[in-house]
Chain A
Amino acid sequence: MPEFPTHEYDVLIIGAGGAGLRAAVEAAGQGVTVGVICKSLLGKAHTVMAEGGAAAALANVDERDGWRVHFADTMRGGQYLSNWKMAEIHAKEAPDRIRELEAWGALFDRTEDGRILQRNFGGHAYPRLAHVGDRTGLEMIRALQDHGVHQGIDFQMECTVTRLLLAGGRVVGAFAYDRDRGRFRVFHAKAVVVATGGLGKAFRITSNSWEGTGDGHALAYEAGAELLDMEFVQFHPTGMVWPPSVRGILVTEGVRGEGGVLRNSEGERFMFDNVPELYKSQTADTEEEGWRYCTGDPNARRPPELLTRDHVARSILKEVEEGRGSPHGGAFLDIAWLREKIPNHADHIKRKLPSMYHQFKQLADLDITEEPMEVGPTTHYAMGGVRVDAETQMSVVPGLFAAGECAAGLHGANRLGGNSLSDLLVFGMRAGEHAARFARENGLEGLDDAAVAGAAEAALAPFEGDQTAGENPYQIQYDLQDIMQDRVGIIRDGSKLESALEGIAQLRARAKAASAPGSREYNSGWHTALDLGHLLTVAEAIARAALEREESRGAQTRDDFPDKDPEWGKVNLVLTKGESGQMEIERVPIPPITEDLAQIIEEMG
C-alpha cells in the first residue's frame, strides 16, 4: 500500500464554519488534541456570508422574551417535526453562547443601555437576533477564528475529505486530498465531527457557494449514519434575480425586518392576502400596524412579509405565475419607501443594511435607497442532515458526530431565520465537548489499510481511462442542478419526483465516466468530479424523501397533496444505505413530547 502523510489527533473536525470552529474551541478547551480541515481558506466558510443575525432569547429589547417563547417559535416554525429536545436545548443555551462570543472579541450592535441589540426576524415573536449591521456571520466567524488560532488547534486549509475511514465498528479518521498539490493525506483520530455545512449546489439557483455540495451528509451516510428530514430544503424568498450572473445571491431578511415590503407589478402588498390560519392571530392587519412593529412598538403585530420563509417564497411564486411578477420573474422588495417615514432615510438604510446597499449598487447598478429591488426564491438551507443524539450530537456510528447545517433535528420542516447561527454555536459546542469525551474514553483504533487504498483508488478515478472521451464533470453538475431545480424545487409532485429519480440514476452512470484532464495540482475539474458523488447522494435523498412524504408541510409543497396531513405530522423520514448499496427509507415516529414542553406550546399558541 502506498504511504500517505498521516496526521493524528484525538478529535478531527471536518469543516471550519461556525459549527466546526465552535466545536474545535470546545474540544481544545477539554485538553485533547484537535485538528480542523476545511475546503477553503480559514475564515471563508459559508458562515462568513450570514447577514441577518443569530437568534437568542436574551430579552434585551423585549422583556417578554425567554427560552420558552423561543422554543415555541422554533417548534411552530418547524411545523412540529423538530426534535423537541434539541429545540429546548437550543432555546436555553443560545443566550450564553452569544454572550461568550463577546468575551472572545465579537462586537454586536448595542441597545441604549449598552447591551446587545436584537432585531426582528420572520417567525420570531420578539426582536431576538443579535446582529452587527448586516454582516453578523463575518463577525462571528472572525471572533471564533481569531480566538481559535491561539488554542493550539491544528488547521489544515484547502484540504478536502473524500471518505470517512472505518475500522472495528467505529469511525477512525478520514481520507483527504490537498487542493494545491493534489496530494493525498490520511487523518487518524479517535473521534470525528462533520461540520461541513449545506447542499445548495444541488440546485441551479442557490445562495450557496461551490462548497455547499453536501459532503458531510454524503460522507456520513456512506459510513453508515442516518439522514433525517431530507425532504425539507429551505427556499429563501429573497434572492437576487437580475442580472443573470448574480441570480440566487441572498438578499437578507433583515431588509424586511427593517421595514422593507413586498409588492407585485400592480403595486399591491400581496402578502396581506396570503396569511395562513396558523399565523393569523400574530400578523398585522394593516400596513400601519406592520410599520409600527418594525419600529419596535411592542403592541404591534408583525407585517406579513415576516411570515416564515417557505410561505413567503410560495407567495412570490404565485404572483409570478399569475402574471403579476417583476420584469425578470420575481417580486419587488422596497425599502426606499422609508422616505415617507424617516427624514434621512438614505443614511438610515445605508447604516442598517450597508452590505445590501453595496451589493446592489455594485452588482446590479441599483440604489436601494431610491428604487425597489427585484427578488425571487433561492435555494438556501438544508433542514435535513445527519441524525444525531440531541444531547451529544453523536450519530449512530460510534465516534462520528455532526453539527451545524449538515446535522438535522432542530429545524424540522422549516428553519427560522437566525436559528442557524445560534444552532452552530449551541450544538457545535456540544459536539466538541462530547467528541473530546469520546476520545478520552476510547483509544485510537488502528487504520484499515485496505480502506485507505480503496479511498485513494476512488479519488484517482477521474484521471483514469480516455481523457478526451470522458464526460465533462461541470456538465454533469449542471444537468443535475437542472433536474433538482425543475422537478424537486419549491412546488413538487409525484410524477416529477419520480422522473427526477430516474434522471439522477442516469447521471450516476455518467458520473462514473467523468474525467479530469490536466494535473493533480489545483485542478477544479477533478474536484468537481469528486464532489459529484456527494451531490448525487444528497439529491437522491431529497427526491426520495420528498416522494415518500405525501403531504404539504413547511418547506415541502406537493401539488398532488396540497394539505397538511396530521398522520404525517407524527413521523420523520430516515434514510440509510442498505446492504446492497441502495438507499432505504423508513418512517420513524416522533417520540411523545414531555408534558411541560407540550404545555409551553399550548400556552404560546
Chain B
Amino acid sequence: MATNTFKIWRGDAEGGALQDYSTEVTEGMVVLDAVHQIQAEQAPDLAVRWNCKAGKCGSCSAEVNGMPRLMCMTRLNSLPMDEPVSIEPMRAFPPVKDLVTDVSWNYKVKKTIRPFKPRAPDAEDGTWRMDQADVDRVMEFRKCIECYLCQDVCHVLREHHKHEEFVGPRFFVYAAALEMHPLDEETRSKELWEEGGIGYCNITKCCTNVCPENITITDNAIIPLKERVVDQVFDPVSRAFRVLSGRKGKAP
C-alpha cells in the first residue's frame, strides 16, 4: 500500500505550524480516516472534531489543501496523491487546538434571530394543514448541518472580521427558512438589515460553492431576503429608486 504525507496544522490560540505525518493510504479512505489513523498511531493528543462520519452532523469542517471541506466526505482519491495533503482548521474562527476552532460565536448569533412563531392552528385538534410544495420550498434550507464552512469562506467574516455586525451566510439560510416557513408569522427584515448586516453581502457566491449540502445560499436565500428587506424596510422610496436605477439592496 502507498503511504502519503499529510501536513497537519498543530497549535493553539498562541500560534502553531504545519507538521508532517506520513501514513498508509488504503482504498476508499477519506481525509478524516487519515487524521484518525495518525491520531491513533503517532499523535494521540491531536485534536479533531467529528461525529457521524457520513456528512450528516457538520462537525468535521476544516481546510483541506486550502479548501473548506468536510473531512469525512473528502475522499483521498479526489485529491492529488503525488503531493502532500494539507489539513488546517477553519480560519474564520479562533483556534482552540490543532483542527478544532471556537465556533461558539455561531450559537450566540443564532439566538439573536427572532424565533419561529406559527399562525393559529388550522384544525380544531390543534394541527396545521400544509402543501407538500410549500414544505419543499424551505426543505433546502432545513438541510443545513451547521458545519459553518460557508461562514469560514465568507470574506466579510474571514477577512473583514465583521462578526459583530454581520451574521453570515449560515444565518441568512436560517432566517430564510423561518421567513419562508409555511406557518411562520414573524418578519425579520428590519433586523436582518440593521443587525444582521445583510447589506455587507456582495453576492460573491463563495458560500454557495462550499456548502456540502448544496444549498444555493446566495440565489435562494440571500437574494430573496435582500428583496424582502428592500420591500419592507425601504418601501416605498427605495422601491421607486430600484425601479429607476435597476439596483438592489446595497451595503450601508
Contacts and interface: CB of A to CB of B under 8 A. Distances in A.
B118 A150 contact: no
A362 B73 CA distance: 7
B45 A44 contact: no
Interface in A554-581: none
Contact of B30 (A49, A132, A180, A245): A245
Contacts of A146: 110, 115-116
A474 B44 contact: yes
B28 A110 contact: no
A41 B97 contact: no
Contacts of A299: none
A44 B29 CA distance: 23
B44 to A, nearest CB: 3
Interface string B41-82: 000111111111111111100000000000001010000000
Contact of B115 (A46, A133, A150): A150
Interface stretch (B141-149, B199-207, B239-247): B141-149
A517 to B, nearest CB: 6
A209 interface: yes
A250 B127 CA distance: 33
Contacts of A242: 28
Nearest to B131: A114
Interface stretch (B132-140, B157-165, B218-226): B132-140
A463 to B, nearest CB: 11
Contacts of B233: none
Contacts of B96: 180, 521-522
B111 A150 contact: yes
Given A245-B26, A362-B55, A472-B44, A107 B49 contact: no
B231 interface: no
A42 B45 contact: no
Given A150-B111, A524-B45, A138 B40 contact: no
Nearest to A364: B28
B56 A138 contact: yes
A265 B63 CA distance: 41
A244 B115 contact: no
Nearest to B133: A110
A28 to B, nearest CB: 14
Nearest to B44: A525
Nearest to A137: B56
Interface in B164-185: 178, 181-184
A526 interface: yes
A180 B27 contact: no
B45 A99 contact: no
Interface in A510-545: 516-519, 521-526, 528
B153 interface: no
A210 B45 contact: no
The 7 A-B pairs of least Cβ separation, nearest first, read: A243-B28, A518-B45, A525-B44, A114-B129, A522-B47, A105-B116, A522-B97
15 contacts: A44-B58, A48-B51, A48-B57, A104-B116, A107-B138, A110-B130, A132-B135, A147-B116, A209-B52, A246-B28, A362-B73, A363-B73, A474-B40, A517-B44, A522-B97
Contacts of A147: 115-116
Interface of A: 40-46, 48-49, 99, 102-105, 107-110, 113-115, 117, 132-133, 135, 138-139, 142, 146-147, 149-150, 155, 157, 180, 209-211, 242-246, 249-250, 355, 358-359, 362-364, 472-474, 516-519, 521-526, 528
A149 B109 CA distance: 12
B29 A245 contact: yes
Interface of B: 12, 26-30, 33, 39-40, 44-59, 73, 75, 96-98, 100, 102-104, 107, 110-111, 115-116, 118, 126-132, 135, 138-139, 142-143, 145-146, 178, 181-184
B54 A249 contact: yes
**Residue among A102, A105, A244, A358 with most chain B CB within 10 A:** A105
A278 B39 CA distance: 48
A507 B58 CA distance: 34
Contacts of B143: 135, 138
**Dominant secondary structure at the B interface:** loop
A363 B56 contact: no
A362 B75 contact: yes
Nearest to B146: A43
Given A41-B59, A518-B45, A244 B26 contact: yes
A525 B40 CA distance: 8
A519 B50 contact: no
Contacts of A135: 56, 143
A40 B55 contact: no
Contacts of A132: 135, 139, 142
A205 to B, nearest CB: 13
**Residue among A42, A114, A211, A523 with most chain B CB within 10 A:** A114
A242 B58 CA distance: 23
A517 B45 contact: yes
A104 B178 CA distance: 11
A41 B103 contact: yes
Given A102-B127, A474-B40, A249 B27 contact: no
A133 B139 contact: yes
Contacts of B107: 42, 149, 155, 157
Contacts of A150: 111, 115
A358 B72 CA distance: 13
Contact of A40 (B29, B47, B49): B49
A358 B212 CA distance: 10
Contacts of B49: 40-41
A44 B115 contact: no
A355 B142 CA distance: 13
